Amino acid sequence: MGVRYIVEGSVRKGGNKVRITAQLIDATEDHHIWSERWDRNLDDIFEVQDEVSSSIAAQVSPAVKGQEQNRVVRKQTKNMNAWDEYLRGLSIFNSNGDYVEVKEHCYKSIELDSKLSDAYILICRCLRNEIFNHEIGKQDRRAANEAEFHEKAKKAFELDPKNPEALIILSLSANIKRDLKQRVELMKKALEINPNHATANFEYGLSITSFGEYEKAKEYILKSVELNPTSINEVFTHSSLMFCNMGLRDFENALDDINKAIEINPDFTGALGFKASLLAHLDRVEEAKDFLAQYQEKRPNVKNISDYEKVAPTIIKEVLIEGLVKAGMPNE
C-alpha cells in the first residue's frame, strides 16, 4: 500500500479479562519502533484503545498526536455492547453485506447508547447507497430513506461536530437537498480538521464538480486514492474520475475510467449508458448504439431522454444527454 508505518497486534479474551498487544513497525527499514502489552478488565477496554492510539500517534508525528488527543477527549461511549453492535454492522458493511442487517445492528447500538455518533454515520452510509444505487435501492422508499438520512446526519453532527465523518455525512445531506454551496462549505471544514482524511478529500473533490471545477476536483480525488490506495479498486472512484474528465470533455480518458469501473463490476448497468454517451462523443456511433441497446435492455424504464433526465447524475447531465442523443436515444 506504499505506507511507511504498520501497526500490528492482537486481542485475547478470557472471562472478564483481556490482553492487548500492539507494535509499531517502520516498514521501510523493517524494524520495530515501539511495542506494548496491556492486561485489563473488559470494563477498561476503551481506555486501553485510547492509550494504544495515542502512544502510536506520538511515535509517528506530533501533529497526529495533537489530533489524536482531541479525539480521546471526545470519546463517546463506555458501553461495550453498543460498540460491539456497531462493529458487527461495520464488518457486514465492509464485506458488502445486506444493508438491512447493517442498519439493524446500528439501531441496536443506538438503543444501548444513543450518543454513539458512529452508528448514525454508518446508517447514513447504507442509506446513501440505497438512495443512489438503482441496482440495490428500492426507489419506492427513496423519500423515506432521504428523510431518515437527513435526520441521522444531523444527529451524528450534533453528537460529534469535530468528526470529519460526521461533517461528510452532513455534507451529503446538503447535496441531497441540492444545497450545493453548503455541501462545499461542510467539506472544507472536514478538510480543515483532517487534511489527510481520504474520504474528505474525495468528497470535497466531488462537491466542487457541481461548480465546474473539474481539474481541481481530479486533484483531490487522486489525492484521496494516494491516501487510501485500496480505493482504486472501487467503482465509485473511477466513475467520479469519469465525471471530471467528461466535464473537461476529455472523452478518451473518461472512457478509460468507465471501462475500469465496468471491469470491477460488470453488473454496473448505469455504466453502460455512460459508455454509450462517451463512444458517441468520440464518433464511434455504431459501438455507442450497441451499448445504448444493452443499457435500455437492463433499464427498461429508461426509454427516452425524458426518462434519462430523472436518473442521470446532475454533475454532467447535459454532456451525457448530448452523447446519448447522438447515440440514438429518442427525446420522447
Domain ranges of the chain: 1-75, 234-332
Q: How confident is the model at residue 139 (pLDDT cuts 50, 70, 90)?
A: low
Give the pLDDT score at 63. Answer: 47
Task: Give the model confidence (pLDDT) of 242-277 as tens digits.
Answer: 999 999 999 999 999 999 999 999 999 999 999 999
Give the pLDDT score at 19. Answer: 87
Give the pLDDT score at 107. Answer: 98
Least reliable range by pLDDT among 29-33, 61-65, 144-148, 271-275: 61-65
Q: Indicate whether 151 pLDDT > 80.
A: yes
- Cα separation of 329 and 312, whole Å? 14
Which of 24-28, 95-99, 275-279 has maximum average pLDDT?
275-279
Least reliable range by pLDDT among 37-41, 73-77, 78-82: 73-77
Q: Indicate whether 48 pLDDT > 90.
A: no
- Cα separation of 292 and 166, whole Å? 39
Asked if residue 59 lies in contact with residue 24, where contact means CB atoms within 8 angstroms, the answer is yes
Q: CATH number of the domain at 234-332, out of 1.10.1060.10, 3.40.50.300, 3.30.479.30, 1.25.40.10?
A: 1.25.40.10
Residues 311-323: what's their mean pLDDT?
93
**What cell was used for 195?**
487534511
Task: Give the model confidence (pLDDT) of 119-132 as tens digits.
Answer: 999 999 999 989 88
**Burial of 332 per CB tally in 10 Å (0-12, 13-18, 19+):** exposed
Q: Residue 146: what residue type?
A: E
Beta bridge partners of 25: 6, 32
